[in-house]
Amino acid sequence: MTAIDVEDTAGPTTVSFDRHPDSYRHWRLRVDGPLAWLVLDVDEQGGLVPGYELKLNSYDLGVDIELYDAVQRLRFEHPGVRTVVVTSGKDNVFCAGANIRMLAGSPHEWKVNFCKFTNETRNGMEDATEFSGQTYLAAVNGACAGGGYELALACEHIVLVDDNSSTVALPEVPLLGVLPGTGGLTRVVDKRRVRKDRADVFATRSDGVKGRTAVDWGLVDELAPRREFTETVTRRAEELAERSTRPPDAAGIELTPLRREETPEGLEYEHVSARYDRGAGTVELTVCGPSAEPGDPHERGAAFWLLALTRELDDVILRLRTNEPELGTWVLRTAGDPELVLRHEAAVLDGAAGDWLRNEILHYYKRTLKRLDVTSRSLIALIEPGSCFAGVLLELALACDRQYMLDGPPPQIEDEDSDERASITLSDANFGPLPMGNGLTRLESRFYREDDHLAWLAKERGRALAPADAVELGLVTDAPDDIDWDDEIRLVIEGRRGLSPDALTGMEANHRFVGPETIETKVFGRLSAWQNWIFNRPNAAGEQGALRRYGTGQRAVFDRKRV
């Protein structure tokens, strides 16, 4: 894989998410039997863009991209790893959090997207602990503040060095006038169950909390003297590893470099393509079904269709979110044989409970769908003859804000009697294994608290549903005929273009997540919404705001009106 962080293309500078441990600038990955060590040792001069130094193990998007790559590789390439220790390679500092100069100098959309990606990476660590038997342990061997403590919070167990100086802190409110942007407030009270009054004290103390108080309040799990720190961490990591069901002798599969062609007109992968229409502000995303029988995922490795597709879909979502913020409407299509899609799905689902690789593929696809769910773009699915919206790929349509299904032959075919028609197919994949961040399936979110309707849908599994059936079952927004199809879709897309992007982002985020709140929905909804607003307020981002004046010796000037 390329080691280049920022690529020069015919258009504006773009960010690449390709990484490999051989070319990491900020992390060192070491595997020792059932234990892996992820050591953060940030290159101060290795910022993703010019204009700031990454001092005190502070991080930017480039540091997090490497972390994301490492988390993925540990799950697929190192199935024998049962505990992952996250620690620092620098003396007396674990991590100072997100780089303040980077945040202060970045445009608003960059800050928000950075926080979103960082949150998703933290969630991926927790997902590995919960579903893969690969437990994360934070070995906090120095000062740990802001996003650094949020990194530790994503771990299942936190060991803090007891040296009378090292603290954990969330200093964003008192020092920067913003919020801990990657789940800190939520995880402190929801995950670690810190009492809300103590959480209030903690989040308004710039100097943080250390030693026995940090343990008593639940901010960390245990202390270890510096002279015994490595021994204590190793012992605890080994104890956590003993609880895992991860196969000790399994052979991993290599996550080989993605094959991708990038042009000013779009992105082309083996199974996914993205075509840009800058005038309309749209991206046409097409996902291709498999072309052959599934075979054994272990033998196919990274070429196994569902894994290869997921990696490409993951990459295209990240690239579009980061590099193409003005392409606000994504139109999703599929192409292929729905029966073949279902056979590939069965090759994963039928053995996921007892096979580590099938389990990893399933959960990776789940996480990628979640990434789509929280993407601030209008998502429209077009279901046409030749589509393969079946089972796992039907989830793509269900993730969209609207679904349109062509009731008739393809517009380019003049024969009205053609038997080429669109269909969709429900499968077991739509009823549990791929939940959203709210803990519900996309069908449960679509038909919230309509148990009778969901039971009706469950009986329709495995049957190709024609447009009339899909409309009756409530699975599509509309099913225009072939005469009206082109005009209807054009009006839908043009109508989206005429609306406020900010209002659309808020509306879509509210509609997509119904029902109970979880840590994920709080982080991506409540916390992100407030942070988004605060990032725009002069108290934080104005010339006299806290974010701008941090480190200058000047105090921030606040507008004292509560809004």
- Burial (CB count within 10 angstroms: exposed 0-12, middle 13-18, buried 19+), residue 506: middle
Q: Tell me, what amino acid is at 495?
A: G
Q: What tens digit of pLDDT does each residue of 121-176 get? A: 999 999 999 999 999 999 999 999 999 999 999 999 999 999 999 999 999 999 99
| pLDDT reported for residue 65 | 98
Beta strands in 109-176 (DSSP E): 135-140, 142-145, 157-162, 167-169
- Residue 506 amino acid letter: G
**Domain spans in the chain, listed from the N-terminal domain onward:** 6-242, 262-511
Q: Evaluate if residue 13 carries a pLDDT over 80.
A: no
Per-residue confidence band for 7, with pLDDT thresholds at 50, 70 and 90? very low
- CB under 8 Å to 13, separation ≥6 — which residues? 6, 7
pLDDT tens per residue across span 409-438: 876 666 666 678 999 999 999 999 999 999
Q: What is the pLDDT of residues 437-469, one digit of tens each?
A: 999 999 999 999 999 999 999 999 999 999 999
Q: What is the mean pLDDT of residues 322-336?
A: 97
| More confidently predicted of 492 and 561 | 492
Per residue in 176-186, pLDDT (tens digit) is 999 998 899 99
Give the mean model confidence (pLDDT) for residues 185-209. Answer: 97
Nearest Cα residue to 84 out of 29, 143, 25: 29
**Residue 4 pLDDT > 60, yes or no?**
no
pLDDT for 541 equals: 87
Q: Is 487 exposed, middle or buried (0-12, 13-18, 19+ CB in 10 A)?
A: exposed
Cα distances (Å, whole numbers) of residue 549 to 67, 97, 347, 556: 30, 17, 56, 6
Q: Which two tokens stand for residue 89?
A: 């390679």
Q: What is the pLDDT of residue 452?
A: 98
Is residue 85 within 8 Å of 254, Cβ to Cβ?
Answer: no
Q: Across the chain, what does the average pLDDT equal?
A: 94
Token pair 């990454």 is at which residue? 54
CATH of domain 6-242: 3.90.226.10
**Cα-flanking dihedrals φ and ψ of residue 213, to 5°?**
-65, -40
> CA-to-CA distance for 153 and 376, rounded, in angstroms?
26
Average pLDDT over residues 89-112: 92
- Contact between residue 2 and residue 20 where contact means Cβ atoms under 8 Å apart: no
In the three-class reduction of DSSP (H, G, I as helix; E, B as strand; rest coil), residue 201 is classed as: helix
pLDDT level of residue 528 (50, 70, 90 thresholds): confident
What's the pLDDT band for 332 if we cut at 50, 70, 90?
A: very high
Dist. CA 157–CA 289, nearest whole Å: 41
What pLDDT does 278 receive? Answer: 96
Give me the CATH topology for the region 262-511: 2-enoyl-CoA Hydratase; Chain A, domain 1 (3.90.226)
Is the confidence at residue 9, as pLDDT, over 50? no
Provide the pLDDT for residue 532: 84
pLDDT at 303 over 90: yes
Per-residue pLDDT for 8 more than 50? no
12: tokens are: 């504006």
Q: Per-residue pLDDT averaged across 279-291, rounded?
A: 97
6-242 and 262-511: identical CATH topology? yes
| pLDDT surpassing 50 at residue 265 | yes
